[in-house]
Amino acid sequence: MLTLLMSLNRRWRVGALALVALFLLPNFAFAVSVSDVVELFKYSYGVDKMLYLASVETVIWNLLKRRKKTVGGRGQWIIPYQKQNAGHMVGMAEGATLTTKRPQPSTAEATFSLIEFQAVWDITWKMLRQASRGKDAFETAMNFMDNSIKRRVFRVINSQVCSFTGLGELAILPDADNDTTITVNSLPFMDQGMSVDLIDASDNTTELVADRSISSLDVEARTVTISGAAAAGTAAGDYFVTSEQVTGGVSYSLHGLGAWISNVNPPATVGNIGGINRSTAGNEFYKGNVKANGGTLRAFTEDLLISGENLMRERGGVQPSRYAANSNIMARYAGDLIRDRYFAYNKIRPLGADGDKPGFGREGMDLEGKEDGKGTTPYTLSGKPFHCEPYLRANRVIGWNDDHFWIGHDGIEVPTPLSEIFDEMVPYFSMKATPSASFDVWHYWEAQVLSDNPQAGIQFQDVAES
């Protein structure tokens, strides 16, 4: 798994320097009492492993990151497209007058600017002082904090990579829900303690709830509990995002795989992908393939799957190399998927044959449930792997070709501490001049979800889950 950890030896040195600095700043050093130390940290000194009781899977991110590209030109990226070919060919009688038609080729350019991301966590001077008494204690404490921010970072990134609008939704309301405990339409891309805003879907800028903490999550009931007063004025389609993500009428987020595999433009707060308006005549080449049913849920049948792949073929695109859906869809169609698996392998054999374990967790094909898991299942669709992304939007199945979708970045593949980006120039810990005397650790990343062929994907909407 890509990691945010830095050299322990170097952190030990900067930790010691930070400790020395504390004693040179008495106004800060003696302003904090023992009670200001986060209670949990005392356990991190002597324990190497701590249980993390929330999902660490980031399936779509892990699938796309297999093919990352460095984007040059100060975060700019241009993808040229040829919209039409040159020339004219026509039949004619022998000796007839030659044609005078000379149609010219046509091209278009999609231009991108990467989105900048920052992540930050802080730590009290008291925590550093206690941990600095021993190298092992300091190492354990820093690993605890690094792993914690890493989980938070990749939870947010995966929500943006999975987005079907480019808005980076953490969770979407199926109906109005003016309460503190709010029902969402699929597993939320959240964990406890996250700071979130609830955005009005009618304009994608109004904050119905601002800067609230997630105080509780109920996975089974699909509910999110927020701190403070109850939400007001909500409606179906309103959605949660990370606090401060929507600023100045712009939603700063990755486009999302689902947004690429779409036949409509993203909302105005996101802007047209690559600057190309999909609704303009002649730009149909830039639309993804979508099979919808007018909002009426229908079963995900084999003929629906075949019609989707035929649509890709008819539009001149390539065939998908993998599919993904959430766990509710997996559960609903388990029987059909097993039959498709037999068909795809072109033979029928008893479960358990050739060392294959019966059941959902067949050997080598079980759902990993870990931070580098790819949601592998024993199922296939038309011979292509079918992955389980637990947090994917409700009632959707997507398929895409690996060669045409990727993560573009500026040379830094994952959010990285500034001290690593500016080696020996920026300290790992940056002290805040406040009475709390805490230290910030900053991370930075610049990226975007890119594609050179939006037709290389298929989206099935309105798929029944129950």
Q: What is the DSSP string of 415-460?
A: -EEHHHHTTTTS-SSEE--STT-EEEEEEEEEEEEEES-GGGEEEE
The 3 state secondary structure assigned to 63-107 is HHCCCEEECHHHHEEEEEEEEECCCCCCCCCCCCCCCCCCCCCEE
Instruction: Give the model's pLDDT for residue 75.
Output: 60
- DSSP assignment of 272-306: -GGG--TTSTT-GGG--EEE--TT--B---HHHHH
Residue 312 main-chain phi, psi, to 5 deg: -60, -40
Strand-pairing partners, residue 122, are 440
Query: Which parts of 237-360 are beta strand (E)?
Result: 239-242, 246-247, 250-251, 289-291, 322-325
Cβ atoms of 414 and 77 within 8 Å: the answer is no
A 10 A CB-CB count for 420 gives 17
Opening angle at CA 262, ends 256 and 265, nearest 5: 85
* Helices 8-24 & 135-162 angle (0-180, nearest 10): 110
What is the average pLDDT across 130-156? 81
Domains in the chain: boundaries: 8-65+114-160+408-447, 169-252
Cβ atoms of 449 and 260 within 8 Å: the answer is yes
Nearest CA to 456 out of 304, 299, 319, 302 is that of 319
Paired sense of beta strands 76-84 and 106-113, if any: antiparallel
Nearest CA to 168 out of 264, 257, 296, 62 is that of 257
Tokens of 98: 């030659």
The residue behind tokens 């079907």 is 164
Whether the predicted pLDDT of 23 surpasses 50: no
State how far the alpha carbon of 227 is from the alpha carbons of 153, 158, 403, in Å.
Answer: 21, 24, 43
Buried b (16+ CB within 10 A) or exposed e, 303-336: eebeebbeebeeeebeebebbbbbbbbbebbeeb
Helix, strand or coil, per DSSP, at residue 354: helix
Burial bucket for residue 58 (CB in 10 Å: 0-12, 13-18, 19+): buried
Instruction: Give the model's pLDDT for residue 74.
Output: 60
Amino acid sitting at position 166? G
Helix, strand or coil, per DSSP, at residue 183: strand
Helix, strand or coil, per DSSP, at residue 251: strand
Instruction: Give the model's pLDDT for residue 401.
Output: 95
Share of the chain above pLDDT 70, in %: 79
Share of the chain above pLDDT 90, in %: 52
Q: Return d(Cα 334, Cα 356) in angstroms, integer.
A: 18
What is the average pLDDT across 66-91? 83
Cβ atoms of 224 and 190 within 8 Å: the answer is yes
Cβ atoms of 431 and 439 within 8 Å: the answer is yes
The residue behind tokens 């690996």 is 402
| pLDDT bracket for residue 367 (50, 70, 90) | low
Task: Give whichever of 29-33, 126-130, 451-455 has the largest mean pLDDT.
Answer: 451-455
Residues 245-283: tens digit of each pLDDT: 999 999 999 999 999 999 999 999 999 999 999 999 999
Tokens of 317: 């695109």
Whether the predicted pLDDT of 355 surpasses 70: no
Nearest CA to 13 out of 424, 334, 373 is that of 424
Instruction: Give the model's pLDDT for residue 422.
Output: 84
Burial bucket for residue 343 (CB in 10 Å: 0-12, 13-18, 19+): middle
Q: Higher-confidence residue: 316 or 307?
A: 307
Whether the predicted pLDDT of 352 surpasses 80: no
Mean pLDDT over each residue of the chain, to the nearest integer: 82
Long-range CB contact pairs, 121-124, < 8 A, 24+: 121/145, 121/148, 121/149, 121/440, 121/441, 122/432, 122/438, 122/439, 122/440, 122/441, 123/429, 123/438, 123/439, 123/441, 124/32, 124/36, 124/37, 124/38, 124/436, 124/437, 124/438, 124/439
Cβ atoms of 379 and 325 within 8 Å: the answer is no
pTM over 0.75: yes
Paired sense of beta strands 416-417 and 405-409, if any: unpaired
Q: Higher-confidence residue: 357 or 455?
A: 455
Give the lowest-confidence range in 10-24, 154-168, 247-261.
10-24
Residues 41-53: tens digit of each pLDDT: 555 555 556 667 7
Instruction: Give the model's pLDDT for residue 25.
Output: 40
Instruction: Give the model's pLDDT for residue 22.
Output: 41
